[in-house]
Amino acid sequence: MMIPQKQGYVFIAITMCIWGGFTLTARLSANWGIGAWDIAALRFLLAFCILMPILIYKKDTAFLWKKEPFILAMIGGVCYCITAYSAFHYVPAAHAAIFLNGCIPLCTALAGYFLFRQPFDRHTWISLSIMLLALTAMSGLMYQETGVAFSLGDGLFFVSAVLWGTFTVLLRQWKLSAWHSMAGVAIWAAIVFVPIYVLFLPKTLANVQPLQLVGQVVFHGVFVVIVATLTYAEAIKRLGAFKTGSIVTLAPFIAAILAVPLLHEPLSHAMIFGLIGMGVGALQPWRWLMHKDPLQQKIDRKKQRS
């Protein structure tokens, strides 16, 4: 039986694989002409069709009428998906790694402070300083290279990071089970957004290949909505919101590098600088270098006492 900390890292590894795939497949869906409204509505609808019968069979629907699942669904479900999917239509995958996933630890720490006055420790202050410095320097390099420091897609990714950081902190604070948080987000997102999509929003599915559409819907509706939400929530319970958000950031950075050969996307000097800076700030490598195993800590304490 693994200790809770090791279990947390296993859940993080699963989440990382899916989040890395999210970055690549979301960019692919934009390249294939699948609209942000379409992929969001279809992923919610598929998750609803899978989860709602299970909840009814288990007679486990009472939690849906609480305010917490609804709020989480609006923040981390509907609003996050619409802004993130829309951003992929404007900028390459590397921008998502920096302005979305790279900013999630920053936004998580800030959301924790403003919502619940959770203090920053020394390592968090160092991380935030490195991230802000990296973003400032990268924006300057981008302006020199292209004449534009930030684009609309970058702004949408940053808004997505704010939404996900808030979602992460609320998820931790409200202590919902992984199953209830995942099911609540998927079901309420479908109930609210799918009717709006059907009645009012434009559809762009006419020219999409059926195999492409099925692959996107299954991956985003099953793996991203259900599996990754479960593993992410379980990791937060065992390791905390900031550490979990920091480690899973590595996956989209890897995806951004893979997007160069796989999707033939450019990687400018500014993007490389931003990836390195945000990666260092998010992962806090100095903490891993300073870490000592429990046995070594006991030996050190005995030496100090003697």
* Domain range enclosing 141: 4-305
Which residue in the block uniquely carries the two structure tokens 């100090």?
Answer: 304
Both tokens of 91, joined, read: 């900028």
* Residue keyed to tokens 């951004």: 256
Tens of pLDDT along the chain (306 residues) come to 678 888 888 998 898 888 888 888 998 998 888 999 999 999 999 999 999 999 999 999 999 999 999 999 999 999 999 999 999 999 888 888 888 877 887 888 889 989 988 887 787 788 888 888 888 888 888 878 777 767 889 999 999 999 999 998 998 899 888 889 889 999 999 999 999 999 999 898 888 888 999 999 999 999 988 898 888 888 888 888 767 766 776 777 778 788 888 888 877 888 888 888 877 876 777 766 665 544 444 445 555 555
Cα distance between residue 277 and residue 280, in whole Å: 5
Q: What is the pLDDT of residue 260?
A: 83
* Other CB atoms within 10 Å distance of the CB of residue 306: 5
> What's the pTM?
0.82
Residue pair 105/245 in contact (Cβ under 8 Å)? The answer is yes
216 HSE (CA, 13 A, CB side):
27
Distance, in Å, from the CA atom of 59 to the CA atom of 53, rounded to the nearest integer, reads 10
Alpha carbons 280 and 296: distance in angstroms, whole number:
26
CA–CA separation, 12 vs 139, rounded Å?
Answer: 30
Residues 6+ apart with CB under 8 A from 293: none
Please report how the helices 80-87 and 36-58 are oriented relative to each other, as an axis angle in degrees rounded to 10. Answer: 150
Residues in the chain: 306
How many domains does the structure of the chain reveal? 1
Distance CA 66, CA 297 (A): 45
182, 94 contact by CB (below 8 A):
no
- 3-class secondary structure for the chain? CCCHHHHHHHHHHHHHHHHHHHHHHHHHHHHCCCCHHHHHHHHHHHHHHHHHHHHHHHCCCHHHHCHHHHHHHHHHHHHHHHHHHHHCCCCCHHHHHHHHHCCHHHHHHHHHHHHHCCCCCHHHHHHHHHHHHHHHHHHHHHHHHHCCCCCHHHHHHHHHHHHHHHHHHHHHHHCCCHHHHHHHHHHHHHHHHHHHHHHHCCCCCCCCCHHHHHHHHHHHHHHHHHHHHHHHHHHHHHHCHHHHHHHCCHHHHHHHHHHHHHHCCCCCHHHHHHHHHHHHHHHCHHHHHHCCCHHHHHHHHHHHHC
